[in-house]
Amino acid sequence: MHLALKLVAQRLALGLLLLLAVSVLIFAGTQILPGDVAQSILGQSATPEALANLRRDMGLNEPAVSRYFSWLGGALTGDLGTALTSGADISKSIGSRLGNTVFLAGVAAVIAIPLAILLGLLAVRYRERWPDKLISAVTLASISLPEFFIGYVLILIFAVNLGWFPSVATVYDGMGFLDRLSVVILPALTLTMVVLAHMMRMTRAAILNVMQSAYIETAELKGLSGLQVIARHAFPNAIAPIVNVVMLNLAYLVVGVVVVEVVFVYPGMGQYLVDHVSKRDVPVVQACGLIFAAVYIGLNMVADIVSILANPRLRHPK
């Protein structure tokens, strides 16, 4: 157990170091963008005095290192700054937006995870037969298509032709759960189709790897059916790699919603980021980038820790 705690602590330390390195890249990337931020905000008709005042207010006259540590210190205390275009507090604006994104990703996860595991089990049960080939063909076709194309196809079918769901995913504070769920179902289905193939293929591969074990052959010789062997013996022993790939895809669901939110005009983090990128609102871009990086790195750390705790071979590599 001592070794497991040591490995977990190492993963946490590496995750924090990686997040620090990403914060440096985010800050540096926004600073080296061509053009003058003050000029972009005030326009070409701005006077030199107005430009100088805005640069002073934004801290652009200070050294880059000083500005980075000031920004990082504010982020660590929950102060992400103020949006240049609206003057609104970024932390408050991101609060509701992040909740909307997490809700969308959660709905997609609730649909995608059980469906991927079920399809993976069916693919193993009917390996090399038509159900396995059909499941693989459909899921691989869905992952080969870009998110915006899948989104527009779903809008055409379920919103325009059938009229079952709205084409624009508009949510607001105080909206009921069922109403919110009906609004986000199309973007959630789009995300589901994007991540379904990866989780299903990894589930299938993990279970097939376990099916080569001697105890599986023993279970088959006892007279258990194919589904009983998979459900009672193969699946529980393949859970570690399955949990790992599920966590990685959850990270993608939260971070990779930008395109889907833009397609469905969903008021989440992705739409918020795109709106302010077009306005060259650097503080908002930095804050969104840092939050996305923290979520992605955090969920990857959780996946590593779960793998370490669930797989004894990772705790005892020798």
Q: Evaluate whether 203 touches 249 at the Cβ level (below 8 Å).
A: no
The proportion of the chain whose per-residue pLDDT surpasses 90, expressed as a percent, equals: 0
Q: Evaluate whether 244 touches 205 at the Cβ level (below 8 Å).
A: no
Structure token pair of residue 237: 């022993």
Residue 281 has pLDDT above 80, yes or no: no
Q: How many CB atoms lie within 10 A of CB 188?
A: 26
pLDDT of amino acid 263 = 84
DSSP string, 63-132: -HHHHHHHHHHHHHTT---B-TTT--BHHHHHHHHHHHHHHHHHHHHHHHHHHHHHHHHHHHHTTTSHHH
CA atoms of 262 and 277, how far apart (whole Å):
13
- Mean per-residue pLDDT for 94-115? 84
Structure token pair of residue 225: 């059916």
CA atoms of 196 and 109, how far apart (whole Å):
10
Torsions phi, psi for 307 (to 5 deg): -65, -40
Identity of the amino acid at 172:
Y
Q: What is the pLDDT of residues 193-210, one digit of tens each?
A: 888 877 787 777 777 777
Domains of the chain: 1-78+283-318 (no CATH), 94-278 (1.10.3720.10)
In the numeric block, the tokens 């699946």 are attached to: 235
If phi > 0 it is left, if psi is from -120 to 50 it is alpha, else beta; for residue 316 that is: beta
pLDDT of amino acid 276 = 79
Residue 318 has pLDDT above 70, yes or no: no
Bigger pLDDT: 315 or 291?
291
Q: What is the pLDDT of residues 149-194, one digit of tens each?
A: 888 888 888 888 888 888 887 777 777 778 788 888 888 888 888 8
CA atoms of 137 and 134, how far apart (whole Å):
5
pLDDT of amino acid 38 = 63
Identity of the amino acid at 263:
V
Q: What is the pLDDT of residues 238-264, one digit of tens each?
A: 666 777 777 777 777 777 777 888 888
Q: How many CB atoms lie within 10 A of CB 75?
A: 19
Q: What is the pTM of this model?
A: 0.76
